[in-house]
Homo-oligomer: A and B are copies of this chain.
Amino acid sequence: MRDAKILAAAAAALREPAGPGAALAPQRVQAEPEQLEPYGRDESDLGTHLPDLVVLPESAAEVQRVLAVAARHRLPVTPIGARSGRSGGALPLAGGIALSLERMNRILDIRPEDLTARVQPGVVTGVFQAEVEKHGLFYPPDPNSLDMCFLGGNVAENAGGPRALKYGVTREYVLGLEVALPTGELLRTGKQTIKGVAGYDLTALFVGSEGTLGVVTEITFKLLPRPRHVSTALVVFRSVEDAARAISRVLAAGVIPRVLELLDDTALAACARTAPYKFPADAGAAVLIETDGNDEEQVFGEIVRVAELVQADASGEVIVAQNEAQRRDIWETRKKLSVNLRALHPLKLSEDIAVPRSRIPEMVRRTREIGARHGFLVATYGHAGDGNLHANVLFDREEDRPRVEAAVGEILHAAVDMGGTITGEHGVGLAKRDYLVYEQGEAQVALQRRLKAVFDPLGIMNPGKIFPEPEGAKGAAGKGVE
């Protein structure tokens, strides 16, 4: 716990009418235990890490005030979105101030003429998507948590989703940012135009920086016209190898579906528990495919083309949705996967690696072997089109967690050894900070620390994230209040 006097002084300073930035209304500076508690957790399974204060700014000027007070009192600041992250990026690891963006949730403008929109960071991703669709527009990134996650969190983690294959990840849609820095500046990076190359790409540097450089207070997005039609198909294969071969054939034919979701045998068996289909007895993998576009006939024609291309490798019939109800059936099968896996084994630790697409079968094989060696079943699924796989180590008892973590460590190393990465879309956060050096080397990690120091010389922004702790500090910061 921090010195109570410092915290009281900081809380008072946040509410003072004078000083840099704008003062916060008293009820938006919270220090009661029941107020702090919800801000100590996220969806990462990495325990509870309580902040000392929760502050709820409503403007960039208020965010600047928070950072000024934090800098004066050397208090850590953790920017917090919807707490839906899976890598612990928003856990207030070192206590201090939990800076929640939940009240900065306005869509500022949507410009169909320019195909752009400006938003505050606390807008829920799914709400934003629905709103731009009313204007005939399309915001493609679709992280699994889109019904609850915030756009600011998506920017901080550079979120992806199934549609990334055709449409790219969050980064591809961020034209410009307004960012409050811990040194006091309010920056406007990037541009309001589709193109622009003036100076360094600070916008890209902030996207995916996991709240370690500053606080994003406004985002300008690029949008697309909304594709009017979508076609969906489900194909079952005997093995992941067969599925991978079929996927390569589709891409080689010049078709880029908007979704190419792979399920391995364990994942498929779990799905089979509630699926409206009876999968063939020799089913060892499945792929969910979607094409989209503006012309209904053409979109359906493309999915039929895909079905023809994969038929040779498929086991049994290719299921092409003929209407919206059938389309929903296919997606429900995929969406119930997580629940069905938990019915097999109550606990799971989910990984988020990416490998070059040609290495997918090898990677799925390796994860299975690693799991088996440690005595665990592994279910792998993910975005096969771009090589991003979620390997889920399934287990039954909390006391097995250390062994599960050892298996996960081997899986991460195997991904890097195959030319891949430890995180395709979830971020490093707390969960993977000890693996970053294995992927990038000491020199590159040291360089990134020096870059962080340019933005955050006092080291108050989301400490303990992305980068491994210095040797001496190890252990302390990683421990939660379970």
Contacts and interface: CB of A to CB of B under 8 A. Distances in A.
Interface of A: 111-116, 136, 157-158, 160, 164-165, 168-169, 171-172, 185, 187-189, 191-202, 204-205, 207-209, 224-228, 248, 251-256, 294-295, 298, 301, 354-358, 383, 385-388, 419-428, 432, 436, 439-441, 443-445, 447-448, 450-452, 454-455, 466
> Which of A165, A252, A255, A422 lies at the interface centre, i.e. has the most chain B CB atoms within 10 A of its CB?
A252
Contact of A424 (B111, B193, B208, B441): B193
A443 B356 CA distance: 40
Q: Assembly of this chain: how many copies?
A: 2
> Which of A197, A204, A356, A455 lies at the interface centre, i.e. has the most chain B CB atoms within 10 A of its CB?
A197
Contacts of A422: 198
A453 to B, nearest CB: 8
Given A171-B204, A187-B447, A196-B420, 11 more contacts: A164-B195, A165-B194, A193-B387, A194-B388, A195-B354, A195-B386, A196-B354, A198-B432, A199-B466, A204-B205, A226-B254
A198 B439 contact: yes
> Which of A111, A196, A425 lies at the interface centre, i.e. has the most chain B CB atoms within 10 A of its CB?
A196
A420 B204 contact: no
A90 to B, nearest CB: 15
Contact of A419 (B193, B228, B432): B193
A221 to B, nearest CB: 13
A272 B444 CA distance: 55
B298 A158 contact: no
Given A195-B386, A426-B197, A444 B187 contact: yes
Contact of A357 (B113, B251, B424, B445): B113
B195 A388 contact: yes
Nearest to A158: B197
A356 B113 CA distance: 9
A195 B255 contact: no
A310 to B, nearest CB: 16
A248 B113 CA distance: 6
Q: Which 8 A-B pairs have the closest CB atoms?
A: A204-B204, A194-B386, A225-B254, A196-B421, A113-B358, A195-B424, A193-B354, A114-B356
Contacts of A420: 191-193, 196
A191 B421 contact: yes
Contacts of A388: 193-195
> Which of A198, A358, A422 lies at the interface centre, i.e. has the most chain B CB atoms within 10 A of its CB?
A198
Contacts of A228: 254
A202 B443 CA distance: 13
Given A112-B252, A189-B444, A201 B207 contact: yes
Nearest to A435: B198
B421 A201 contact: no
A255 B192 CA distance: 21
Contact of A356 (B193, B208, B386, B426): B193
Contacts of A209: 200
Contacts of A194: 164-165, 354, 357, 385-388
17 contacts: A160-B197, A171-B204, A193-B354, A193-B355, A193-B387, A195-B425, A196-B420, A197-B427, A199-B428, A200-B205, A200-B451, A201-B201, A202-B448, A205-B205, A225-B251, A225-B253, A225-B254
